[in-house]
Amino acid sequence: MRPLKFLLIKEFKQIFRNKTLLPMIFVMPLVQLLIMPLAADYEVKNINISIIDNDHSTFSHRLSSKIAASKYFRLIENEQSFKGAYQKIESNEADLILEIPYRFEENIYRTGSQQVFIAVNAINGTKASLGGSYLSSIIRDFNGSIQPEIKFSAPSSPLKRIELSAINWFNPYLNYKVFMVPAILVILVTMVGAYMCGLNIVKEKEVGTIEQINVSPIKKHHYILGKLIPFLVIGLIVFSIGFFIISWGVYGIVPQGSLLLLYAYLALFLIAILGFGLLISTYSETQQQAMSVSFFFMMVFILMSGLFTSIDAMPAWAKVIAYANPVTYFIEVMRMVVLKGSTFQHITQHVLIMLGFATLFNVWAILNYRKTA
Amino acid sequence: MGDIKWACTERLNSDPMVDVSVQNISKTYDEGTVKALSGISFEVEKGELFGIVGPDGAGKTTLFRILVTLLLADAGEAMVNGSDVVKDYKEIRSKVGYMPGKFSLYQDLSVEENLKFFASIFGTTVEENYHLVKDIYVQLEPFKRRRAGALSGGMKQKLALCCALIHRPEVLFLDEPTTGVDTVSRKEFWEMLKRLKSEGITILVSTPYMDEATLCERIALVQEGQIMSIDTPDGIIARYPDQLFAIKSDNMSGLLRDLRAHPEVASAFSFGEYHHITFTDKQKIAEGASSFLATLSHHNLEMHTITPTVEDCFIQLMSHDGR
């Protein structure tokens, strides 16, 4: 174990001397966790709507002002014709058009029903679908509010309605940050593991110091452990900073589950992802190569992990990729343990799968390292 | 210490004085398309300062990397200090010192830290073998807190030598240790090697500089993966087959052209101030050089006999092989 001690001392000295790496390790979690959750938000606000009111009645005015009063919509100048409103969409000033037909109020009183026309600019898919559904819900609401008034005139429309009220568990206010912050923390830890460890080893290859180590009695597993342990420690530190200072301190996300369980899973995940970094380093000759390869996998890891988009909503082939992605499991475990307070029994499968990843990556990397050196 | 080891290690080679033995080592790159070494064989005795001399691309680095167990040969066998480079690679790694041609110490560690680190990974301390590196290290001492990456070329090489020596290796492999180092430092470096030799360490050194060849006890001249000649530098010079002349005039480039076109001239090469030439007919020149000079229409012609250098021998061997 003595050689390992010397390797670790050397490694930590080098890390603490690195003028780029060290600030990255400590500033990255702060910046990413403080800024990203505030900006990356699913709620769409400031949807520009253009209303063509062909009726100019009390009802049509009430509908317009109801929409304008909502925090999601911004009423832009009312147009007199659909053509004019459509030009607004083309010039990107309007996202939605609502056309209220002529005799809107009169038809409601007379027949009890009336249709309005909604046109949505679907260039930005999220904005379009959310804007459309916000608007529909406002109209539905409006519909409910005018029911008592038209009941007198419309003879046969008995008011039979089932009211649904939902309670959101584990994140009662559907706070986006509660959902995102733990997951972003996972991405940070992944970066430390997949980038830093791999690049560090490739740097030794590039500079040639690995040859000096190879022509020495140092054992391969000592050398590999000497590389994994420092980055395991850094991963734990980055996670702790993000978890206690930012997630808990700033956002007030109090973990529901056991911290010990969370840290045990984190350590397991780090071993797996460090093994992945190691694997990349055995296939790369230069830092540039290692960087490009890790970047490619990071993109897949981030986008196919259920971080932003629900895995359940993915097509079948994409689900296969998502479930072959170690990041997916840690994000799930984070959300389960932190938000739901899940215990070991609930995440047994996740633990087994991550054990599999850790073994696969590390064994593969060590075998390949032997072959090339 | 070395003697005890000799007694208890079984060796294929019967001669106890042989420390490094290379038998028919071949190595190709890129699936056999590039030949780096083709069937090299030689032996180095214990405590010898052995030089591998050859131009860039001759296969010197490949040979060293095979001997220090970083590379596997395609064919052939090699023994270093009684251990097979393939079977007993682990033993070799603890008893050889290797200084690669490219500076490969930790640039972000200081001089002192590098030395300590390399001592510790060999399970020893700087203090234990300080006497070996003392002469060199005293020159580095004023900069011991400086990062290795910030040292000058010569200082880097000295530090690399210290780090390769600090575990007191039985055999030291130095791959082009003086390439890119100034003349004064080069001279110092060779003096250090001579002192190390007196410690009983076998030293293999490769160099592209022919003038350094004479500083070795024995040299192997290599070219395109083959050994052209192995002998002491004097022995190699003594084997030079022709009488060599040095010639100069006012117009050196014109002279070289004329000499090469001259029917009586066997070879002509530019060598700094003079051109070195040999003749097809030795007898005729011995009788009268002036008649030859008269055939050249050059001003201030001057010609005299000289003893060849290793470089002359190298060129002679190369052109002999090539044609």
Tens digit of each residue's pLDDT (9 = 90 or more) over A33-79: 888 777 766 667 788 888 888 888 888 888 888 888 887 888 887 77
Tell me whether residues B122 and A216 touch, CB distance under 8 A: yes
| Listed residue (A144, A152, A150, A171) closest to A104, CA to CA | A150
Q: Which domains does chain B have, with CATH numbers?
A: 2-234 (3.40.50.300), 241-307 (3.30.70)
Q: Average pLDDT by consecutive 10-residue portion of chain B (323 residues)?
A: 41 67 90 86 92 90 92 90 89 91 90 93 90 87 92 88 92 90 85 86 91 90 89 88 86 87 86 86 69 79 85 83 48
Mean pLDDT of A156-172: 65
The pLDDT value given to residue A21:
77
Q: Which of A13, A215, A371 to mutate to test the interface with B (most CBs of B within 10 A)?
A: A215
Q: What CATH number is given to the structural domain containing A91?
A: 3.40.1710.10
Q: Is A216 on the interface with B (CB under 8 A)?
A: yes
Q: Which residues of B touch A (CB under 8 A)?
A: 68-70, 90, 93-94, 96, 98, 100, 102-109, 113, 117-118, 120-123, 163
DSSP B275-320: EEEEES-HHHHHH-HHHHHHHS--SS-EEEEE---HHHHHHHHHHH
The answer on A115 and A218 residing in a single domain is no
A101, A121, A151: which is the final residue of a domain? A151
Residue A188 lies inside a defined structural domain of this protein: yes
3-state secondary structure of A307: coil
Q: Is A161 on the interface with B (CB under 8 A)?
A: no
Which residue carries 């010639």 as its tokens?
B247
Question: Under a CB-based contact definition with an 8 Å cutoff, are residues B301 and B249 in contact?
Answer: yes
Mean pLDDT of A81-107: 85
CA distances from A261 to A186, A336, A347, B278 (A): 15, 11, 10, 85
A21 Cβ partners below 8 Å, 6+ apart?
A15, A196
Residue of A6, A209, A214 with shortest CB distance to B105: A209
Whole-angstrom distance, CA of residue B21 vs CA of residue B79: 5
Which residue carries 């403080």 as its tokens?
A34
Q: How far is the alpha carbon of B261 from chain A, nearest alpha carbon, in Å?
A: 48
The answer on A225 and A96 residing in a single domain is no
Q: How far is the alpha carbon of A257 from chain B, nearest alpha carbon, in Å?
A: 43
Residue A230 lies inside a defined structural domain of this protein: yes
Question: Under a CB-based contact definition with an 8 Å cutoff, are residues A202 and A287 in contact?
Answer: yes
Whole-angstrom distance, CA of residue A227 vs CA of residue A205: 13
Whether residue A87 is predicted with pLDDT greater than 60 in this model: the reply is yes
The answer on A32 and A10 residing in a single domain is yes
Tell me whether residues B94 and A215 touch, CB distance under 8 A: no
Return the bridge partners of B245, or none: B277, B305
The pLDDT value given to residue B170:
92
Q: Give residue A108's pLDDT band: very low, low, confident or very high (50, 70, 90).
A: confident
Residue B321 CB: number of other CB atoms within 10 A? 11
DSSP A111-132: HS----EEEE--SSHHHHHHHH
The answer on A252 and A114 residing in a single domain is no
Q: Is A19 on the interface with B (CB under 8 A)?
A: no
Q: Is A15 on the interface with B (CB under 8 A)?
A: no
Residue A156 lies inside a defined structural domain of this protein: no
The answer on A341 and A210 residing in a single domain is yes
The pLDDT value given to residue A373:
47
Tell me whether residues A217 and B122 touch, CB distance under 8 A: yes
The answer on A114 and A18 residing in a single domain is no
Q: Give residue A358's pLDDT band: very low, low, confident or very high (50, 70, 90).
A: very high
Q: How far is the alpha carbon of A231 from chain B, nearest alpha carbon, in Å?
A: 18
Q: How far is the alpha carbon of A11 from chain B, nearest alpha carbon, in Å?
A: 10
Tell me whether residues B121 and A13 touch, CB distance under 8 A: no
Whole-angstrom distance, CA of residue B282 vs CA of residue B305: 12
Tell me whether residues B93 and A214 touch, CB distance under 8 A: yes
Residue of B105, B120, B123 with shortest CB distance to A212: B105
Q: Is A8 on the interface with B (CB under 8 A)?
A: no
Residue A119 lies inside a defined structural domain of this protein: yes
Residue A159 lies inside a defined structural domain of this protein: no
Give Cα A174 to chain centroid, integer Å: 14
CA distances from A62 to A55, A85, B108 (A): 12, 20, 72
Whole-angstrom distance, CA of residue A150 vs CA of residue A248: 52
The pLDDT value given to residue A371:
58
| Listed residue (B216, B181, B225) closest to B34, CA to CA | B225
The answer on A34 and A56 residing in a single domain is no
The structure tokens listed for B194 are 């001579």
A372 Cβ partners below 8 Å, 6+ apart?
A282
Tell me whether residues B108 and A17 touch, CB distance under 8 A: yes
Residues of chain A found within 8 Å of residue B96, distances taken between Cβ atoms: 215
Whether residue A311 is predicted with pLDDT greater than 90 in this model: the reply is no
Q: Give residue A119's pLDDT band: very low, low, confident or very high (50, 70, 90).
A: confident
The answer on A6 and A79 residing in a single domain is no
The answer on A229 and A180 residing in a single domain is yes
The pLDDT value given to residue B4:
43
Whether residue A354 is predicted with pLDDT greater than 90 in this model: the reply is yes
Whole-angstrom distance, CA of residue B95 vs CA of residue B122: 9
Residues of chain B found within 8 Å of residue A10, distances taken between Cβ atoms: 106, 109, 113, 117
A350 Cβ partners below 8 Å, 6+ apart?
A265, A329, A332, A333
A7 Cβ partners below 8 Å, 6+ apart?
A218, A222, A223, A225, A226, B121
Q: Which of B72, B88, B104, B176 to mutate to test the interface with A (most CBs of A within 10 A)?
A: B104
Residues A77, A80, A81, A82: is their CA dihedral positive or negative?
positive
Tell me whether residues A212 and B69 touch, CB distance under 8 A: no
CA angle (B281 as vertex; B275, B286 as ends), nearest 5: 75
The answer on A127 and A16 residing in a single domain is no
Residues of chain A found within 8 Å of residue B69, distances taken between Cβ atoms: 214-215
Question: Under a CB-based contact definition with an 8 Å cutoff, are residues B185 and B157 in contact?
Answer: yes
Residue of B93, B100, B113 with shortest CB distance to A216: B93
Lowest-confidence segment of A28-42, A76-90, A293-307 by average pLDDT = A28-42
Each residue of A26-64: b (16+ CB within 10 Å) or e?
A: eebbeebbeeebeeeeeebeebbbbbbbbbebebbeebb
The pLDDT value given to residue B162:
92
Residue A161 lies inside a defined structural domain of this protein: no
The structure tokens listed for A5 are 């001690």
Residues of chain A found within 8 Å of residue B117, distances taken between Cβ atoms: 6, 10
Whole-angstrom distance, CA of residue B309 vs CA of residue A270: 62
Residue A221 lies inside a defined structural domain of this protein: yes
pLDDT higher at A59 or A270: A270
- Count of structural domains within chain A: 2
Question: Under a CB-based contact definition with an 8 Å cutoff, are residues A105 and A150 in contact?
Answer: no
The answer on A237 and A139 residing in a single domain is no
Tell me whether residues B90 and A217 touch, CB distance under 8 A: yes
Q: Is A209 on the interface with B (CB under 8 A)?
A: yes
The answer on A178 and A140 residing in a single domain is no
Q: How far is the alpha carbon of B94 from chain A, nearest alpha carbon, in Å?
A: 5
A220 Cβ partners below 8 Å, 6+ apart?
A366, A369, A370, A373
The structure tokens listed for A364 are 């593969």
Tell me whether residues A3 and B109 touch, CB distance under 8 A: no
Q: Give residue A158's pLDDT band: very low, low, confident or very high (50, 70, 90).
A: low
H helices present in chain A, as ranges: 2-17, 21-39, 58-69, 82-90, 104-111, 125-151, 176-191, 198-207, 209-214, 220-240, 259-283, 287-303, 316-323, 326-334, 348-372
Tell me whether residues B96 and A7 touch, CB distance under 8 A: no
Relative to beta strand B274-279, strand B226-231 is: unpaired
Domain hosting A64: range is 47-151
Tell me whether residues A13 and B93 touch, CB distance under 8 A: no
Q: Give residue A23's pLDDT band: very low, low, confident or very high (50, 70, 90).
A: confident
Question: Under a CB-based contact definition with an 8 Å cutoff, are residues B243 and B278 in contact?
Answer: yes
The pLDDT value given to residue A50:
87
3-state secondary structure of B148: helix
The pLDDT value given to residue A41:
65
Q: How far is the alpha carbon of A226 from chain B, nearest alpha carbon, in Å?
A: 12
Provide the mean pLDDT of chain A: 85
The pLDDT value given to residue B12:
47
Q: Which residue of B has its CA nearest to A215?
A: B93
Question: Under a CB-based contact definition with an 8 Å cutoff, are residues A309 and A179 in contact?
Answer: no
Report the phi/psi class of residue A252: left, alpha or beta, with left for phi > 0 and alpha for psi in -120 to 50.
left
Q: Is A18 on the interface with B (CB under 8 A)?
A: yes
pLDDT higher at A262 or A371: A262
Q: Is A17 on the interface with B (CB under 8 A)?
A: yes
Residue of B90, B102, B121 with shortest CB distance to A208: B102
A-B CB pairs within 8 A amount to 61
